[in-house]
Amino acid sequence: MGHPAANVEGKKILITGGASGIGAASALLLAERGAKVVIADLSEQAGNEVAEQASAKGQSIVFHKVDVADGESVRALFAFAMEQLGGLDVVLNNAGIDHKPAPMHELSDDDFDRNIAVNLKGVWHCMRAAIPCLLPKGGHVINVASVAGLRSSPMISAYSASKHGVMGLTKSAAIEYAKANIRFNAVCPSFTDTPMVQNTLAQLDERAQNAIIKASPMRRLGRVEEISGAVAWLCSDESSFMNGHAFTLDGGMLA
């Protein structure tokens, strides 16, 4: 056996939004490295497909349906995960949505409310449910925020507000629970090639598409495996002194 980076063997990990994009890539990488993973998502079909991909290789991913915007649904998910895994070490709050780019005065109530309900209140629902599960032994909550949670994001202001809110929850909880050895960190990617971003690109003209792709000094989108590798390190004990911070993966955008 070699010495794999980011050893997560045997870790019990719950991932929301695990049926697609960054969540699915993280689930598959963690399971490949020996973690026991529950993925939860609104999308049953895609979630079951990710679980089947892992079990075909003898790896451990179980799917459970959730709507993170619904507190009761989240409570049921955590009860399921605790039972299924026999405890929890890491929770990756990754489920999220965006909205059609629009100047602030043209944003609809529906887009604003939905982004806050899923991206911000959804993460809070999951943090609230995770903490009692992690209190007995300690653990790690990793929230997927965004560079849009750290700086201005013209045309996606509701999304940006929701992600700034996630940073606030992350930093406050990091201090509240440090003594209990529960750590809270955020992952902040810039534009990464996932169905969410492909869907946004499809709604824009070529000039706006290029602006998104070239927003990073590396002049390309991030790849999901560039995010999941960082997530795996965060899930491992190697990250044990990181608490209350943003792990920014942006090709240098915020440098």
In terms of Cα–Cα distance, which of 194, 200, 202 is closest to 224? Answer: 194
Window 189-208: contact mask with ligand NAD (x via CB under 6 A): x-xx-xxxx-----------
Interface with ligand NAD in residues 77-136 (CB under 6 A): 94-97, 118, 122
Q: How far is CA 20 from the centre of its chain?
A: 11
User: What gap in Å lies between CA 211 and CA 208, rounded to an integer?
Assistant: 5
Among 146, 170, 185, 216, which residue interacts with ligand NAD (rule: CB under 6 A)?
Answer: 146
Select 44 or 83, whichever has its Cβ closest to ligand NAD: 44
* Least Å from the CB of residue 144 to ligand NAD: 4
User: What gap in Å lies between CA 210 and CA 197, rounded to an integer?
Assistant: 13
Sign of the dihedral defined by the CA atoms of residues 131, 134, 139, 141, in that order: negative
Q: Are strands 90-93 and 60-65 parallel, antiparallel or unpaired?
A: unpaired
Binding of ligand NAD by 42 (CB under 6 A): yes
Binding residues for ligand NAD, rule CB under 6 A, total 30
Contact stretch for ligand NAD (CB under 6 A) within 38-46, 128-136, 150-158, 172-180 = 38-46
What DSSP letter does each residue of 21-87 carry, written as one string?
Answer: HHHHHHHHHHHHTT-EEEEEES-HHHHHHHHHHHHHTT-EEEEEE--TT-HHHHHHHHHHHHHHHTS
39 in Cβ contact with 96 (< 8 Å): no
Binding of ligand NAD by 28 (CB under 6 A): no
Which of these is catalytic: 63, 124, 159, 191? 159
Select 6 or 186, whichever has its Cβ closest to ligand NAD: 186
Binding of ligand NAD by 20 (CB under 6 A): yes
Query: What value does the CA radius of gyration of the chain take, rounded to a whole number of Å?
Result: 17
Binding of ligand NAD by 17 (CB under 6 A): yes
Q: Is 159 a catalytic residue?
A: yes
Largest pairwise CA distance in the chain:
58
Select 181 or 233, whichever has its Cβ closest to ligand NAD: 233
Residues that bind ligand NAD (CB under 6 A): 16-17, 19-23, 41-43, 46, 66-69, 94-97, 118, 122, 144, 146, 189, 191-192, 194-197
